[in-house]
Chain A
Amino acid sequence: MPALLEVRDLAVHYADGHGGPVVAVDELSLDVPPGEVVGLLGESGCGKSTLLLAILGLLPRSARVVNGSIRFRGRELLGLGEPELRGVRGAEVSIIFQDPALALNPVRRIGSQVAEVVQAHRRWSGRRCRDEALSMLAEVGFPDPVRIHDSYPHELSGGQRQRVVIAQALACRPALVLADEPTASLDSTTQAEVRGLLGALQRRLGLAMLVVSHDLGALATLARRVLVMYAGRLVEAGDSARVFGDPLHPYSRGLLQALPRAPEPGSSRERRVPSPIPGSSPDLARLPAGCAFEPRCADRLPACVDRPPRETRPADGRQVRCFKYGG
């Protein structure tokens, strides 16, 4: 089946005041098949959010797509004009931002903010848009959609606001939802709730999703496929169970050890103490000539400093960018 979203060789640079460009995304390719959840893992500042904004054509003025293509249903999104992009945003591809407290306008009622997404894409009466907003609020699990409809954002809890943001994102039944750390700003019980809701909606509506997250639990339960990103590039990709169970790239391994993980139910493994990766993520304006992870890597080889490794496929369905696997 052809992929719903195809990103090929994407490179995004930010202009910064100090000489060279900041390479936020480089040589990045990924596919999101219809109805499937793809997880994207990486440290803050590795270019994940830039990628999501690039897909929607919402990059800030200082950023420039210097190479590559982004196709949605075979249609090239890069270079589309604002009116065409507006037709895609929210209707075919929508996004759930990280902090729901910031994603909602503080001085407007919840209902109007959900209804206006419908109104932007459908030639429906105000009444019908309102009804749609109400049914959307019910669909994301509010037992009393009318009360929520008439509330202001500050009257809701973090979890409720995130449900509202999800309702906005799904209001026009998009085929693809981008989620930028959808649970990061919530407390852990709410996280589990929102994660469950997203999973249920994804299955019910047959949504394709690209989920950026630190939350290994969320990615492990939601995503079929996982991509690991470091310094603007994908360093590893594969089936989520296999990437989490047997990470190939030294960075993936370090990342999995660095992130706290609740013991899975029924697993005999003891809780381990998270251990951080030594060093810090590289300055994207001064990337080394070789592998960007080389300075922090425990397994470095002599070849690592000369040039960046190529992508190789050491096993079925696995991709990795490391000299250990012949890159």
Chain B
Amino acid sequence: MVRLARRALHGLLLLIGVSALSFLLVELAPGDYFAEMRLDPRVSEATLRTLRSRYGLDRPLPERYLRWVASLARGELGYSFAYGQPVGPLLWPRVRNTLLLTVTATALAWMLAVPLGAWWATRRRGPVNAGLAGVTAALLALPDLVLALGLLLLALRTGWFPAGGMVSLGHEQMAWSERVGDVAAHLVLPVTALVLGILPVLVRYVRAGVADALDAPFVRAARAHGIPPRHVMFRHALPAAANPLISLFGLSLAGLLSTSLLVEVVMSWPGLGPLLLEAILARDFYLVLGPVLASTLLLVSGNLVADALLLAADPRIRAAGR
């Protein structure tokens, strides 16, 4: 428990650091939302000054940062110039959509990676080994963007799956069960892109971990006691290999989150990705910070989940934390 609390504190400090740094970095970028208006001869210098002071852009940096932090506390997260409303309400549905995508993809990727990697670990020679090595190497070499575009092309050519967006036209009129089915159909493509992107990495880690565990002396001892192979795998090798894989789980969440931002843009999934891109292009200052902060929060929570799982899985860590 102490360990978890300490990790949570670390996460909080990380959030504060990221917020300050990203605030500074976005600030350092030249120009602001109103810079382009200057090109318009109909907008006078005085109007621009009024606009800037209305949004507080003429205040010194520390003051603006503190004001922004105060608005974080109110759940507003600053004000979007382009939308003319607080960032918070814009952000929450996007966070929900990104979460739906990444959590589904993470769950699916791990559910595939563990059995596949464990199976691979028991076949160190022969066609299974060669086949899996080839397929994972090919998938690793393929950039996520190419993968996403390829899938998009496939969806368009075959028409098997909706090729973009999150809901069909008329979604609002559907019954509850139909809505779930509709969103699920739209999930297929982006989730496939995300899963195929991270699966080869995970499978290789699982394989290496389980293979190491299978070579461990206690696995040989278990076999020497006549323990059947399925128990050797499920009761000995997998629990012993779990430790590094759980740490990898936290990392995989981070990887999926950043890939997700890209895939969302390519497949027009209404998550944080498109919002962030749009905000950056428009120099919509606070709207850029929102998704950055939200991603960091997701990341920190993912790592906390991994820490909690690690405590549950390994008695040695529990003993060390006491």
Query: Which residues of A are interface residues toward B (Cβ below 8 A)?
Result: 56, 58, 82, 86-91, 94-95, 97, 99, 102-108, 112, 116-117, 120-121, 152, 154-155, 165, 168-169
Contacts and interface: CB of A to CB of B under 8 A. Distances in A.
Given A106-B316, A154-B315, A89 B226 contact: yes
Nearest to B318: A152
B224 A86 contact: no
Given A105-B239, A108-B235, A116-B235, A89 B225 contact: yes
B239 A86 contact: no
Contacts of A102: 216-218, 221
Given A89-B223, A90-B225, A154-B316, 17 more contacts: A58-B223, A87-B226, A89-B224, A91-B226, A94-B224, A95-B221, A95-B224, A102-B217, A102-B218, A107-B240, A107-B314, A108-B235, A108-B236, A116-B227, A117-B227, A152-B315, A168-B225
Interface in B202-233: 216-218, 220-229, 231
B226 A120 contact: yes
A86 B217 CA distance: 17
B226 A103 contact: no
A185 B242 CA distance: 28
Contacts of B228: 86, 120
A214 to B, nearest CB: 19
Nearest to A118: B225
6 contacts: A90-B224, A103-B218, A108-B239, A112-B235, A117-B227, A154-B316
By size class, the interface of chain B is 20 to 34
The 7 closest A-B pairs by CB, nearest first: A90-B226, A90-B225, A102-B217, A89-B226, A103-B221, A152-B315, A117-B225
Contacts of B235: 105, 108, 112, 116
Interface string B65-83: 0000000000000000000
Contact of B315 (A97, A99, A107): A107
Nearest to B221: A103
B224 A56 contact: yes
B128 to A, nearest CB: 16
B319 interface: yes
Interface of B: 216-218, 220-229, 231, 235-236, 239-240, 242-243, 313-316, 319
B227 to A, nearest CB: 5
Contacts of A82: 229
Contacts of A99: 217
B162 to A, nearest CB: 44
A102 B224 CA distance: 14
B320 to A, nearest CB: 10
A94 B313 CA distance: 30
Contacts, number: 83
A90 B313 contact: no
A99 B220 CA distance: 12
A264 B40 CA distance: 105
A121 B226 contact: yes
B226 A86 contact: yes
A104 B218 contact: yes
B233 to A, nearest CB: 12
A97 B225 contact: no
Nearest to A107: B239
A112 B316 CA distance: 17
A116 B236 CA distance: 11
A318 B214 CA distance: 42
B314 to A, nearest CB: 6
A56 B225 CA distance: 10
Contacts of B316: 106-107, 152, 154
A228 B227 CA distance: 32
Nearest to B216: A102
B298 to A, nearest CB: 29
B318 to A, nearest CB: 9
A58 B218 contact: no
A33 to B, nearest CB: 23
Contacts of A120: 225-228, 231
B305 to A, nearest CB: 19
A87 B227 CA distance: 9
Contacts of B226: 86-91, 117, 120-121
A82 B228 CA distance: 10
Nearest to B220: A58
A102 to B, nearest CB: 4
A58 B224 contact: yes
A104 B316 CA distance: 14
Nearest to B219: A105
Contacts of A154: 315-316, 319
Nearest to A91: B226
B33 to A, nearest CB: 54
Contacts of A155: 319
Nearest to B316: A154
A165 B222 CA distance: 11
A176 to B, nearest CB: 13
Contacts of B236: 105, 108
A120 B314 CA distance: 25
A88 B224 CA distance: 9
Contacts of B243: 107
Nearest to B224: A95
Contacts of A165: 221
Contact of A105 (B222, B223, B313, B319): B222
Contacts of A107: 239-240, 242-243, 313-316
Nearest to A97: B221
Nearest to A104: B218
Q: Which of B221, B229, B316, B319 has the most CB of A within 10 A?
A: B221
Contact of A97 (B217, B227, B239): B217
Nearest to B243: A107
A91 B68 CA distance: 70
Given A152-B315, A155-B319, A106 B240 contact: yes
